[in-house]
Structure 1
């Protein structure tokens, strides 16, 4: 009998197993929109602290990647290539309407879950208002970005300008950071991006705020959310919501680990945020129908 147990133990060793092997940790796939350039050491680094904190609480591991575009992030979620995503409000609505996404959590700062989009120019520019953009070169981010395309383009339309006819040139850069860079380097006369992205660039010394002036600031926009694949098991969804709801008070988690959009420190995460509150972004998105967006992209390709 002793030799039989020895033989079985040898089989366990040779197979890389052991009778007392620890269970394998579950790994969830996280994909982030390329809001600030899409670099692995940029956008990815923004969210590593919060997922690290949740990992400490739950024992879950998170494999974090950055999508090549906003649309690619939606496709990853809807094709079951991702379990969790950080997206903009409009991107969330697109995924939700396809039945792919459930809301996970929304960042809270100073008791609010909002942010703002803006249109910026250089400090010495003669551009003072949106009307002054007529005939000028304007840089935008991704066509599905809430704050670097949808809201600023809607502000231009609301000001009475036809973006296709009245703007001198449209530059689609793909990200907030690249739009700001186009402005700083004289490749655009104005740039559309979020104030969070602008503040991040200032904090990283990528731009001197004294050299930039705000032309227009959007109304409050619901904060960019974390969302979950709708196919996840109900128990796992509940486990994730519970973790994000309590992460700011969890043992061993420091305030510096509670990060949100742009890597900015926030107060906490709200997992009870009503999905309907994002409908205001959907109403703004509806101002730009597919025909207008197609014409805008065609104009952008002609430069």
Structure 2
């Protein structure tokens, strides 16, 4: 009978096991497999760790132009409060939402709808909303050429309409809701749906005669007129929306409480500082504003979004399919 093989076991005393466990944990930390808390890993606004800002390309302008609209307010906060920022412009609304959801952004400028999407995807908190003449609101509109004979939303049935980005509040969601309320289903009753990508492109398509209607914010329309991109006499506003909360600045909810408090204080007070020119305070579409309001309530956003309940995911998907099909 074969001799039974002996099995050799190495005894590892508890202190030795603890030592190797700690050694393994340290190695994991160094390789990034185990990290610190989200709060500890995010920037604090110091010169060494500036807060990462990303802006949605809401007005359809250039990347440099969009950045130039917001740099004055952030530069003023750096000057007065010693909070530092790294400002970028996202390639799309969704790109900014995704960046916030993946902790790649600390502060973001959203549209009202993209902010609602961000709240579903990420730990995000309202930072401030621009204010002008005591109001924090703007408007969407659906435009037609002045000589088109289109005088009501019902007249768009059987016509071609250009929308902006599908995540845009004022160039997509509100116009779609307005058409639905008028009895025109934008996925079924239009001759064609054009997704122009932004406000400026939608207006440009209308001026060039490629479409019968265009959806854009009134601020973007004014900006296009002021920049000489179109003549105010060429187009007419067929329908103006109800007031929409101004596009918000939001912050990553995982930031340290101290940093979030500093940001709120800075945006609440910066317009009163003697070294900051009020003319340098700009907001959505580059318009001059009076201040940023960090006390705007979430409830006001939710109330204003209620009319958009009819713009379901199914409707959006159907409009995207229509746009892909062409005429």
Partners of 2:132 and 2:143 in 1: how far apart?
A: 24
Cα deviation for residue 186 of structure 1 reads 1.3
Cα deviation for residue 107 of structure 1 reads 0.7
Partners of 1:138 and 1:43 in 2: how far apart?
A: 26
CA RMSD of aligned residues (A): 1.3
Partners of 1:100 and 1:73 in 2: how far apart?
A: 14
Corresponding residue of 2:283: 260
Picking from 240, 249, 255, the partner of 2:272 is 249
Instruction: Tell me the alpha carbon deviations over residues 103-148 of structure 1, each in whole angstroms, 9 at most, x when there is no partner.
Output: 0000111111110000011111111100000111101011111100
Instruction: Tell me the alpha carbon deviations over residues 223-279 of structure 1, each in whole angstroms, 9 at most, x when there is no partner.
Output: 111000111111101101100101111131001111111111111111111111101
Corresponding residue of 1:3: none
Matched, 1:112 2:160: no
Cα deviation for residue 280 of structure 1 reads 2.4
Partners of 1:186 and 1:213 in 2: how far apart?
A: 14
Specify the SS of the correspondent of 1:139.
strand
TM-score (norm 2): 0.83
- Paired residues in the alignment total 281
Picking from 125, 139, 146, the partner of 1:102 is 125
Corresponding residue of 1:37: 60
Matched, 1:284 2:322: no
Picking from 146, 153, 159, the partner of 2:176 is 153
Specify the SS of the correspondent of 2:86.
strand
Corresponding residue of 2:18: none
Corresponding residue of 2:14: none
Q: Unaligned stretches of 5+ in structure 2?
A: 1-45
Shift in CA distance, 38/230, structure 1 to aligned 2, threshold 3 Å: farther
Q: Is the 8 A contact 2:112 2:248 kept in 1?
A: yes
Corresponding residue of 2:107: 84
Q: Is the 8 A contact 2:100 2:122 kept in 1?
A: no
Q: Is the 8 A contact 2:57 2:63 kept in 1?
A: no
Partners of 2:206 and 2:87 in 1: how far apart?
A: 30
Picking from 203, 206, 226, the partner of 2:249 is 226
Name the larger-Rg structure.
2
Corresponding residue of 1:64: 87
Q: Is the 8 A contact 1:73 1:85 kept in 2?
A: yes
